[in-house]
């Protein structure tokens, strides 16, 4: 009789476990449906922009191109801007251009973001002279538009160091204070080439994929460690071709629809994405959807599409 009771208890526990599992699955499905409709709603009604006045924004690669326009854009919105660049001359020019428009809360520091010791040394200087960085924009990036065989070993190492490894150093330098205060925002510039390899992109494209995954992993790690209570935001941006001078020989079959973007336009879109707390944003915004969609096509179909648009870059070598 006692054995029958124990068997009955086990059966009850088993049935209860199954019931709870079914309830969890139902709740999961309801959540998924809700978030799908929420996402669709925000395609029509964008998220409200948050105020960045008074934030301390550090931008790497601020001496030219997108980085310079980001610095000017954030300064115009009332943020304290910290400009980092390996080129001291152009970095100071960015700072002076910001001061000319009447914004005095701007600082410029020469820093090679690929140099670990230099990053930590300059970061300490920023903390003492300006304060804790609340918005970190990992913008610095380089590329050598060459075939893999023509890349030197030093060029390969340099691209990886600047485009990927440097982000670990800046995160190590500035993320701890954000975690301590449970407040902050990390922005990283990836590229639409993160989703598909390209001719002459054997070094550059993988660094942009690495940036994408690093941001995803870092965001998930903080969510897990904080039991979902982390208030630190992450935004990864995927621009198409931008006229910064990095790509000297673009190959474009349809310039009206794929002719490239100005640094001013891209910087404005990045700031908008950060202020709206978008986790991922392509520029133009529909490219992210298209890039994800075509990955499900058969390989030959994808190659046919690439051949039709016939766009990319001509090698510099």
Q: Which of 61, 75, 51 is nearest to 185 (CA)?
A: 51
The Cα–Cα gap between 271 and 293 comes to 26
Neighbours of 42 (CB within 10 A): 12
Predicted local distance difference test score (pLDDT) of residue 315: 79
pLDDT of residue 38: 84
pLDDT digits (tens, 9 = 90+) for 108-164: 999 999 999 999 999 999 999 999 999 999 999 999 989 999 999 999 999 999 999
256-294 pLDDT per residue, tens: 776 688 999 999 999 999 999 999 999 988 888 888 788
Residue 250 has pLDDT above 80, yes or no: no
Residue 175 has pLDDT above 90, yes or no: yes
Spatial CA neighbour of 254 closest among 196, 312, 311, 197: 311
Q: What is the 3-state secondary structure (H, E, C) of the chain?
A: CHHHHHHHHHHHHHHHHHHHHHHHHHHHHHHHHHHHHHHHHHHHCCCCCCCCCCCEEEEECCCCHHHHHHHHHHHHCCCEEEEEECCHHHHHHHHHHHHHCCCCCEEEEECCCCCHHHHHHHHHHHHHHCCCCCEEEECCCCCCCCCHHHCCHHHHHHHHHHHHHHHHHHHHHHHHHHHHHCCCEEEEECCHHHCCCCCCCCCHHHHHHHHHHHHHHHHHHHHHHCCCCCCCEEEEEEECCECCCCCCCEECCCHHHHCCECHHHHHHHHHHHHHCCCCEEEECCHHHHHHHHHCCCCHHHHHHHHHHHCCEECCCC
The more confidently predicted of residues 61 and 39 is 61
Give yes or no: 278 in active site: no
User: Mean pLDDT across the chain, nearest whole number?
Assistant: 91
- 17, with CB counted inside 10 A (0-12, 13-18, 19+), is exposed
pLDDT of residue 206: 96
Residue of 34, 41, 168, 204 marked active site: 204
In angstroms, rounded to a whole number, what is the distance separating the alpha carbons of residues 175 and 105? 22
**The pLDDT value given to residue 163:** 98
Query: Does the pLDDT of residue 255 top 80, yes or no?
Result: no
Q: Among residues 107, 119, 283, which one has the least CA distance to residue 194?
A: 283
In this predicted structure, the answer to whether residue 24 has a pLDDT above a threshold of 60 is yes
Question: What pTM, to 2 d.p., does this model score?
Answer: 0.88
């Amino acid at each position: 009789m006692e054995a029958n009771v124990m068997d009955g208890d086990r059966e009850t526990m088993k049935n209860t476990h199954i019931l709870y599992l079914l309830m969890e699955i139902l709740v999961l499905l309801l959540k998924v449906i809700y978030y799908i409709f929420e996402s669709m709603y925000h395609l029509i009604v964008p998220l409200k922009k948050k105020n960045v006045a008074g934030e301390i924004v550090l931008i790497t690669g601020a001496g030219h191109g997108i980085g310079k326009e980001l610095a000017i854009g954030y300064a115009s919105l009332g943020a304290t801007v910290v400009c980092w660049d390996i080129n001291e001359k152009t970095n100071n020019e960015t700072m002076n251009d910001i001061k000319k428009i009447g914004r005095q809360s701007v600082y410029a520091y020469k820093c090679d973001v690929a140099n670990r010791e230099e990053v930590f040394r300059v970061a300490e200087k920023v903390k003492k002279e300006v304060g804790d960085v609340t918005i970190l924009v990992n913008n610095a990036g380089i590329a050598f538009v060459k075939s893999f065989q023509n890349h030197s070993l030093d060029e390969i190492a340099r691209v990886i160091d600047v485009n990927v490894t440097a982000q670990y150093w800046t995160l190590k330098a500035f993320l701890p204070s954000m975690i301590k205060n449970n407040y902050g925002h990390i922005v990283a510039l990836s590229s639409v080439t993160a989703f598909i390899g390209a001719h002459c992109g054997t070094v550059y494209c993988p660094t942009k994929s690495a940036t994408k995954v690093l941001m995803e992993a870092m965001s998930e790690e903080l969510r897990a460690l904080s039991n979902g209570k982390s208030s630190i935001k992450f935004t990864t941006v995927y621009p198409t071709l931008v006229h910064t001078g990095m790509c000297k020989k673009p190959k474009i079959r349809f310039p009206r629809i794929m002719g490239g973007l100005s640094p001013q336009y891209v910087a404005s879109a990045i700031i908008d994405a950060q202020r709206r707390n978008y986790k991922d944003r392509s520029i133009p915004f529909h490219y992210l959807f298209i890039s994800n969609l075509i990955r499900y096509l058969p390989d030959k179909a994808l190659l046919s599409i690439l051949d039709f648009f016939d766009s990319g870059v001509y090698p510099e070598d």
